Amino acid sequence: MKIALVGYGKMGKTIERLATSRGHEIVARLGRNDQMKQAQIADVAIEFTSPESVLNNLNELIKLNIPTVCGTTGWNDDLDDISNLVIKENCSLVHASNFSLGVNLFFELNKKLAAMMSTFNEYKVSMNEIHHTEKKDAPSGTAITLFEGLKDPLKKTNWSLEQTNDEQIVTIDAIREEDVKGTHSIFYSSDIDEIEIKHTAHSRDGFALGAVIAAEWIHGKKGVFTMKDVLGL
Ligand SMILES: NC(=O)C1=CN([C@@H]2O[C@H](COP(=O)(O)OP(=O)(O)OC[C@H]3O[C@@H](n4cnc5c(N)ncnc54)[C@H](OP(=O)(O)O)[C@@H]3O)[C@@H](O)[C@H]2O)C=CC1
Ligand SMILES: O=C(O)C1=N[C@H](C(=O)O)C[C@H](O)C1
């Protein structure tokens, strides 16, 4: 398959290595000053850039009718508009806050644990996420997806980066430390004990492999999908 990389930073370079090892060809590596139409020679574009660039990039890719895998985080509020554009242009998009198999299994575990904890009010839920100091968004996209997975069973309305006594709000502590690839924990704390579930990424390879698998999967499909669809979870 011919792949165009939109964004050639930490993830773009890791995706190049994984994609090449699976027999794919990288036919374009686009930075912020390049013309998006260079990606038209590819079967699929893989977009990992930044929160301030992603919407413009997705608009251009979809209007050029290039099937796209998007891993950039920080654009949840615009998902409906982008999805409508994908449908209108009869294009295809896979988006995910986290493409790794391990985190997608962790998403399912989070939902099951939240359903189990929903009747035990003595436990207060909270979360933390730890990432490298170059990360632009907080909380991480993965932390927001984890919140979405527990909010209904636990009757929560929103998340906050600050500590709060509002019982409907889940506190997410966003910690930045040198070179951390991505660690997410969910805590259920009572006066007596604490239950914790945690996912730790040891490298970026899991994210990149998932993005390449999503690119292989989307080839020939139309519509808007997530990694849950790709993995059949
Ligand atoms: N869904 C997932 O599984 C994962 C998602 N992510 C997300 O992916 C995004 C990128 O992460 P990462 O690779 O670590 O970040 P980096 O900062 O290492 O790389 C981003 C690259 O995109 C480039 N870029 C910025 N704007 C544009 C543009 N308009 N067109 C083309 N290239 C552009 C940047 O160039 P410049 O230096 O000029 O700004 C930079 O080279 C983040 O939002 C992150 O949260 C990360 C890991 C996994
Ligand atoms: O910026 C990163 O590095 C990561 N971003 C994603 C997120 O915001 O959840 C996924 C992963 O945690 C790494």
Which has the closest alpha carbon to 33: 51, 65, 64, 8? Answer: 8
Q: What is the CATH number of domain 2-99+205-231?
A: 3.40.50.720
SS3 29: strand
pLDDT digits (tens, 9 = 90+) for 119-178: 999 999 999 999 999 999 999 999 999 999 999 999 999 999 999 999 999 999 999 999
DSSP 139: S
Domain positions in the chain? 2-99+205-231, 101-200
- Give the ligand whose atoms come closest to the C-alpha of residue 51: 1
CATH of 101-200, one of 3.30.230.10, 3.30.360.10, 3.10.20.740, 3.40.50.720: 3.30.360.10
pLDDT digits (tens, 9 = 90+) for 27-63: 999 999 999 999 999 999 999 999 999 999 999 999 9
Taking residue 67's Cβ as centre, other Cβ atoms within 10 Å add up to: 21
Pocket lined around ligand 2, Cβ cut-off 6 Å: 73, 97-98, 131, 135, 140-142, 182
> 73 alpha carbon to ligand 1 midpoint, in Å?
9
- Reading phi first (left if > 0) and then psi (alpha if -120 to 50, else beta), residue 117 is in alpha
The pairing of strands 25-30 and 2-6 is: parallel
Q: Annotated catalytic sites, by residue?
A: 131, 135
Look up the ipTM and state it. Answer: 0.99
Q: What is the pTM of this model?
A: 0.98
